[in-house]
Chain A
Amino acid sequence: LAKTTQPISMDSYEGQEVNITCSHNNIATNDYITWYQQFPSQGPRFIIQGYKTKVTNEVASLFIPADRKSSTLSLPRVSLSDTAVYYCLVGSSNSGYALNFGKGTSLLVTP
């Protein structure tokens, strides 16, 4: 599995847009980029997945540049309830079964 690097923590005020960048320099051709979210004392939850360019859903957007060596999770107009840990994962259908969560990015949203 490709190694990922993301900031340990980020702070934001309510209503701001938050961008969390993940580096994955050795991403393989077949790898997808997936983001999970974990609220305190809860299990991780899938947010979004992409292969290239831009993906948007009701929760977030995922921006992936052409070289795919990094990706940015964008959370528009965050609220206090977006306080959570966000994990970037890289893998393909050949990557086995284990999700390797790493330490993730701990996002704190304050009023």
Chain B
Amino acid sequence: EPEVTQTPSHQVTQMGQEVILRCVPISNHLYFYWYRQILGQKVEFLVSFYNNEISEKSEIFDDQFSVERPDGSNFTLKIRSTKLEDSAMYFCASSSQGAVLYEQYFGPGTRLTVT
């Protein structure tokens, strides 16, 4: 069964450093998403991406965040200058169609620890 993959599984970085989290969505999917989950809290939407542009973003997704699909397979989330409060599990997801009606397939997550 096709699955979303994410690398690395765990990233430790110092405050102020840039990090790039990588995802390989399911190959025939066209819609891509990033969510995060701070330890013990709910899963929060960050951004959705379709046709090489952001289709929706949350208040969390400020100027410190950016997304990119650098090639035909990868989808990345960059945090320019990490803060302690960016420590969380980051999940990538993809779907064949957009809108909440359609199933989103989630990756295993990247645990980001900012020290």
A interface residues (Cβ-Cβ under 8 A, vs B): 1, 32, 34, 38, 41-46, 49, 87, 89, 91-104
CA distance A94 to B35 in the complex (A): 20
CA distance A38 to B108 in the complex (A): 11
Report yes or no: A45 in contact with B106, Cβ–Cβ below 8 A.
yes
Per-residue contact bits, chain B 21-33, to A (CB 8 Å; 1 contact, 0 not): 0000000000101
Asked whether B55 is an interface residue with its Cβ less than 8 Å from the other chain, the reply is yes
Which size class do B's interface residues fall under? 20 to 34
Instruction: With CB as the reference atom, state the residue of chain A lying closest to B97.
Output: A93
- 28 A-B pairs whose Cβ atoms sit less than 8 Å apart in the complex: A32-B101, A34-B101, A38-B43, A41-B89, A41-B109, A43-B4, A44-B104, A44-B106, A87-B43, A91-B101, A92-B100, A93-B101, A93-B102, A94-B99, A95-B100, A96-B56, A96-B99, A96-B100, A97-B31, A97-B100, A98-B48, A98-B58, A98-B100, A99-B35, A99-B43, A99-B100, A101-B42, A103-B42
Asked whether B88 is an interface residue with its Cβ less than 8 Å from the other chain, the reply is no
Question: Which residues in chain B, 86-115, are within 8 Å of chain A measured between CB atoms?
Answer: 89, 91, 93, 98-109
Report yes or no: A97 in contact with B101, Cβ–Cβ below 8 A.
no
CA distance A96 to B108 in the complex (A): 24
Interface centre among B35, B43, B45 (most CB of A within 10 A): B43
Give chain B residues whose Cβ lies under 8 Å from the Cβ of A89: 100
Known: A97-B31, A98-B58. A43 touches B100 (CB 8 A): no
Report yes or no: B107 in contact with A46, Cβ–Cβ below 8 A.
no
Report yes or no: B58 in contact with A43, Cβ–Cβ below 8 A.
no
B interface residues (Cβ-Cβ under 8 A, vs A): 4, 31, 33, 35, 42-45, 48, 50, 55-56, 58, 89, 91, 93, 98-109
Report yes or no: A43 in contact with B48, Cβ–Cβ below 8 A.
no
Report yes or no: A97 in contact with B33, Cβ–Cβ below 8 A.
yes
Known: A97-B31, A101-B42, A103-B42. A42 touches B101 (CB 8 A): no
Instruction: With CB as the reference atom, state the residue of chain A lying closest to B104.
Output: A99
